[in-house]
Structure 1
Amino acid sequence: MKRYVFALLGAFSLSACAQNPGASDAAPATAGAAASTPTAVEAPAGSPAAKARDAILSINPQVSVESVADAPLPGFQEVIVSGQVLYVSNDGRYVMQGSLFDAREQRDLSQAGLSKLRQRLLSEVPEDQRIIFAPANPKYTVSVFTDVECGYCRRLHEEVAEYNKRGIAIEYLAFPRMGPGSDDFRLMESVWCASDRKQALTAAKSGRRVEPRTCENPVAAHYALGQRAGLTGTPMIIATDGTQMPGYMPPDQLLEALQRLDGAAVGGAR
């Protein structure tokens, strides 16, 4: 049993491209190749949070415990580990993995903690480390983990002007799905090192040559951040409140989703 749980916490598989349009997009990402330094949240000794944290680290001391908080499920702590939500009993004995769904409210409660984590992680990425395509006065802004080889990433980029026309700013972060050391990774580093990043990204996504370049760049940091944020495929679209969209969405569909989120936030604030 311990071996099984260790596997759950120690091996994270990332699908290469959400809603892949072709077999060439099906290569898996190398999930562990750029893992960030393991972290563990602070908690008072003997508290339910400390017991939950220590229970996870006793199974695998190499994982990063991103947050521990009271779970919506009484008697449990919600623990976020490398983009996964786990529920640990307050005494640290029992560990459950999976979504916690509220049948009455018809919503996935496990997404709330992940949204807060994504929001915090993205707030740490400065604007000059992103590649931004935005209208003059955007109504909405989304962060998009992208790969130059992913078919649906390319489709989204082909429509970037249409997103902008609808008042949506697209802020790209790098997630080369083939992992560090790959041609894909080096190509994305060349894009981020280009004198005109926007032009280079467009060229790369169109299959045109991008001049190889090296420099101090955030590609590896973005890759590790995507893992911590629970990335399961590219493009990963995240709203400003940390909500993850279900993969690629056409411009009108994304606008409608952002408007619904906006309406829900306004309604919840009343």
Structure 2
Amino acid sequence: MQINRPPLQWLSVLMALMLSMMAQADDGLDSLEKRLKDMYPATRIERVQTSEIPALFEVTMGKNTAYTDVTGRYFIFGHLFDMKTQRDLTADRMEKQQRIDFGQLPLGDAIKTVRGKGERVLAVFSDPDCPYCKRLEAEIDKLSNVTIYTFPYPLEGLHPEAVDKSIAVWCAPDRARAWSDLLRSGKAPASRKCENPIQRNIQLAQRLGIQGTPTLVSADGRMLPGAAPGDRIEQWLAESRP
């Protein structure tokens, strides 16, 4: 059977048309983003992208996500669900947008603890006077084959002595032991002063949007707030995804 193939010039026209449509889509997104910023100057418009619904655009505003049409006048606040796959598409995208680049964390400003081979990695932002942080330490004891980087993150407004305790731990001869003794038994190390990263850690946590302690960060940048049980942490670590 003979198949009639389109002339090469038609293929060239089709390719040019597709490229033109892609460029127009990009221009449309750029134009809409500019329009939204002009219409709502007090709102931090961070990203505009197409959604799974034609003619509906997803707008990221800090930690908020909404949907709008090409005019930018009408907004829908809420989550978009794919009922066929039973997935919350909005939550998936928000979670990815809020991930932390683990590779950019200043691990030299953290207290390093290795359990077993230490093949998995985990960062923890923790306050020495936070009761939930003390509870988390007992749960972390249940983990194996993990390297833990603990960033002392004192919430001075809640715990006035936490900064001095964090500095004393950092300046102790064995930081990991001093931190463990402080959170597990309340045994504070002798007061010491030295070069320390405590203020840098506070600023780092604020930049990352970490507002409470404890907060765990996985190798793929996901965050888990609160004193989660050890089995929940294991499950969360196993959920690592790109």
State the TM-score, normalized to the length of structure 2.
Answer: 0.66
Gap change, CA 1:254 and 1:181, over 3 Å in 2: closer
Give, in whole Å, the separation in 1 of the partners of 2:156 and 2:207. Answer: 17
The residue type equivalent to 1:160 in the other structure is: I
Once the two structures are TM-superposed, the CA of residue 116 in structure 1 deviates from its matched residue by 4.4
Aligned pairs (5 A) from 1:13-24: none
Give CA deviations for 1:190-234 in whole Å, capped at 9, x if unaligned. Answer: 323434221221233132222333444333333333334343532
Choose which of 68, 80, 87 in structure 1 pairs with 2:47: 68
The one-letter amino acid of 2:99's match is R
144, 149, 153: which one pairs with 2:133?
153
Structure 1: 5+ residue stretches without partners = 1-44
**Matching residue within 184, 204, 220 for 1:241:** 220
Q: Secondary structure at the match of 2:141?
A: helix
Q: Out of 142, 160, 166, which is 1:188 matched to?
A: 166
CA contact (8 A) 2:212 2:225 kept: no
Matches within 5 A, 1:111-126: 111-120=92-101, 122-126=102-106
Q: What is the correspondence of 1:1-150 to structure 2 with a 5 Å cutoff?
A: 47-52=31-36, 58-59=41-42, 67-70=46-49, 72=51, 75-79=56-60, 81=62, 84-87=63-66, 89=68, 102-108=82-88, 109-120=90-101, 122-150=102-130
Deviation at 1:128, TM superposition (A): 1.2
1:79-132 alpha-carbon deviations (Å, 9 max, x no partner): 353xx2343746665667665555544444335344444322x43222211112
Match of 1:221 in 2: 200
What amino acid maps onto 1:126 in structure 2? P
Residues 133-162 of structure 1, C-alpha deviation per residue, up to 9 Å, x if partnerless? 222423432221111122221122134332
Q: What is the match of residue 234 of structure 2?
A: 255
Q: After TM superposition, give the deviation of residue 48 of structure 1 in Å.
A: 3.5
- Rounded Cα–Cα distance in structure 2 between residues aligned with 1:111 and 1:229: 19
Partner of 1:9: none
Could you tell which deviates more after superposition, 211-220 or 92-101?
92-101
Q: TM-score, normalised by structure 1?
A: 0.61
Whether the aligned pair in 2 keeps the contact of 1:175 and 1:226 (CA below 8 Å) is yes
The letter of the residue matching 1:240 is A
Counterpart secondary structure, 1:245: strand
The aligned length equals 211
Report the RMSD for the aligned CA atoms in angstroms: 3.7
1:173–1:222 Cα contact (<8 Å) kept: yes
Task: Check 1:169–1:147 CA distance in 2 against 1; reply closer, same or farther (3 A cut).
Answer: same
**Conserved 8 A contact 2:114-2:146:** yes
Distance 1:180 1:79, change over 3 A: farther
| Percentage of matched positions with identical amino acids | 27
SS in 1 for 2:123: strand
Give the counterpart of 2:149 among 158, 161, 171: 171
Change (3 A) 1:162 1:106: same
Q: Whose relative contact order is higher, 1 or 2, with alpha carbons under 8 Å and at least 6 apart?
A: 1
